[in-house]
Chain A
């Protein structure tokens, strides 16, 4: 039924389309993003529509300094500045702070020019350098609603020691915090080196059940996750 209406409107508007439709046309989108995890918060999200060949991150390559700052401490300012310099259309922190487990945020975006690819990133708390990510998804051109599931990544910049010590600065070991308030203390640390120093799919957190010791300050019953960690629904409001 929807397709029929589209076909009819194209047919009736066809004399106009040749002049109106061109690759530089703006596109209006609605983005709905949901934290699917049961025990992890997301730090402020960066959502960026950009042109071909640009990335917030790429799997199997070393993280940029700005990506590291996002993944280790939730600071997206560097990524935002870089995307602005590339004339991307960027939405910064649409949820106005942390996103709790199960929380959704919905917002409109208008993409300009050749900004036909969508990338997203936000740190997963509590982790050392884990983040939810989307790398250069081609934005659908046809009107409709499209659902995607996003996975958890590891920036490869910090050892996953799982020690909650407040450290969020790039290069400082440790986990900044557990906003859920279920973190422990006194952990000896799961591991003190990172053997894969490129961006990769996160192997998950280990955790333990010892709130005042053990190897991890994370709780294995609460802070683990299974992919996917987020749902993305893109509504394309008009053809491009």
Chain B
């Protein structure tokens, strides 16, 4: 490649590209189609939330304590407080949980060049404080017509002990409590989730069954630049 282009030619073509990309940043709307599929066996996912934001924001960080807003989503399935952290950003909140095998599609549009990160989150509702999603994925390399696929890990908010006890899990497997401000987890920071044990695997008083068990990944998320 180097031998076929003189330095001047490279500079010229680079300048043209640079001008093109500067113009693209300048208030022309960019629209992203997002498709979320629940690929677990039997874990409904709470109404997923999504937003576009700048590089200086993230919904969570591995190794750091969860925000109260993240705790509300991870323990109770309500992502409203997370969205409220950036309430003027392009954002989406589903109006119903995402059943195993189900997909939802929506789009997010921005005219601001800085909103080039995408985050998505939803609780695995038959857990104490497990959730899945993607965090501050950079979209600026995605050209119109291109798609990227993410398979998201399952995380543990580190805000509630994974007791699996009756009354502690908000999903249909239990119908118990969701958000509770008390933090009693053995690890008090966000990590990956270690999975649920269930009564079928020796945790005899667990309210969960083998049907609630999961592995990584838990969501398939496809992002397409329109």
A and B assemble together: yes
Chain A residues within CB distance 8 Å of chain B: 1, 4, 7-8, 10-12, 14, 34-39, 100-104, 180, 182, 206-209, 220-229, 231
B72 within 8 A of A: no
Provide the residues of chain A in CB contact with B162, threshold 8 Å: 38, 221-222
Contact of B191 among A8, A37, A223, A227 (CB under 8 A): A37
Scan residues 67-117 of chain B and give those whose CB is less than 8 A from a CB of chain A. Answer: none
Report the minimal beta-carbon distance from A136 to chain B, rounded to whole angstroms: 24
Interface centre among B2, B11, B194, B205, by most chain A C-beta atoms within 10 angstroms, is B194
Q: Are A7 and B62 in contact (CB under 8 A)?
A: no
Provide the residues of chain A in CB contact with B154, threshold 8 Å: 226
- Can you name the residue of chain B whose Cβ is closest to the Cβ of A103? B63
Scan residues 195-219 of chain B and give those whose CB is less than 8 A from a CB of chain A. Answer: 195, 197, 201-205, 215-216
Give Cα distance in the complex from A39 to B10, angstroms. 52
Provide the residues of chain B in CB contact with A222, threshold 8 Å: 162, 186, 194
Pull 15 A–B residue pairs with CB atoms less than 8 Å apart, ordered by A. Answer: A8-B11, A11-B2, A36-B191, A37-B194, A38-B193, A38-B194, A102-B62, A102-B187, A220-B203, A221-B164, A226-B154, A226-B192, A226-B195, A227-B216, A228-B153
Q: Are A37 and B192 in contact (CB under 8 A)?
A: yes
Q: A-facing mask of B7-19, CB < 8 A → 1, else 0?
A: 1001100100110
Q: Are B194 and A39 in contact (CB under 8 A)?
A: yes
Provide the residues of chain A in CB contact with B215, threshold 8 Å: 226
Provide the residues of chain A in CB contact with B64, threshold 8 Å: 102
Give Cα distance in the complex from A4 to B28, angstroms. 22
Q: Provided the pairs A10-B2, A11-B7, A38-B193 are in contact, do residues A4 and B14 lie with their beta carbons within 8 angstroms? A: yes
Q: Are A180 and B187 in contact (CB under 8 A)?
A: yes
Q: Provided the pairs A38-B187, A38-B193 are in contact, do residues A104 and B62 lie with their beta carbons within 8 angstroms? A: yes
Q: Are B187 and A8 in contact (CB under 8 A)?
A: no
Give Cα distance in the complex from A225 to B162, angstroms. 13
Q: Provided the pairs A34-B62, A102-B63, A231-B62 are in contact, do residues A220 and B191 lie with their beta carbons within 8 angstroms? A: no
Report the minimal beta-carbon distance from B173 to chain A, rounded to whole angstroms: 16
Q: Are A4 and B202 in contact (CB under 8 A)?
A: no
B163 within 8 A of A: yes
Q: Are B203 and A209 in contact (CB under 8 A)?
A: yes
Q: Are B14 and A182 in contact (CB under 8 A)?
A: no
Q: Which 9 A-B pairs have the closest CB atoms?
A: A102-B63, A11-B7, A102-B189, A36-B192, A11-B10, A38-B191, A101-B187, A38-B194, A102-B191
Q: Are B14 and A228 in contact (CB under 8 A)?
A: no
Scan residues 154-183 of chain B and give those whose CB is less than 8 A from a CB of chain A. Answer: 154, 156, 158, 161-164
Provide the residues of chain A in CB contact with B21, threshold 8 Å: 1
Give Cα distance in the complex from A104 to B190, angstroms. 12
Give Cα distance in the complex from A15 to B11, angstroms. 16
Provide the residues of chain A in CB contact with B163, threshold 8 Å: 221
Q: Are B186 and A11 in contact (CB under 8 A)?
A: no
Report the minimal beta-carbon distance from B213 to chain A, rounded to whole angstroms: 10
Q: Are A101 and B14 in contact (CB under 8 A)?
A: no
- 7 more A-B contacts (CB under 8 A) besides A37-B192, A227-B216, A228-B153? A11-B10, A14-B2, A102-B187, A220-B203, A224-B195, A225-B194, A228-B192
Interface centre among A100, A182, A226, by most chain B C-beta atoms within 10 angstroms, is A226
Report the minimal beta-carbon distance from A70 to chain B, rounded to whole angstroms: 23
Report the minimal beta-carbon distance from B135 to chain A, rounded to whole angstroms: 12
Q: Provided the pairs A4-B18, A11-B11, A38-B156 are in contact, do residues A101 and B191 lie with their beta carbons within 8 angstroms? A: yes
Provide the residues of chain B in CB contact with A10, threshold 8 Å: 2
Give Cα distance in the complex from A103 to B162, angstroms. 20
Q: Are B194 and A224 in contact (CB under 8 A)?
A: yes
Give Cα distance in the complex from A4 to B10, angstroms. 9
Interface centre among B154, B156, B158, B161, by most chain A C-beta atoms within 10 angstroms, is B156
Provide the residues of chain B in CB contact with A35, threshold 8 Å: 191
Provide the residues of chain A in CB contact with B7, threshold 8 Å: 11-12, 14
Q: Are A226 and B186 in contact (CB under 8 A)?
A: no
Give Cα distance in the complex from A1 to B153, angstroms. 30
Provide the residues of chain A in CB contact with B187, threshold 8 Å: 38-39, 100-102, 180
- Can you name the residue of chain B whose Cβ is closest to the Cβ of A12? B7
Q: Are B216 and A209 in contact (CB under 8 A)?
A: no
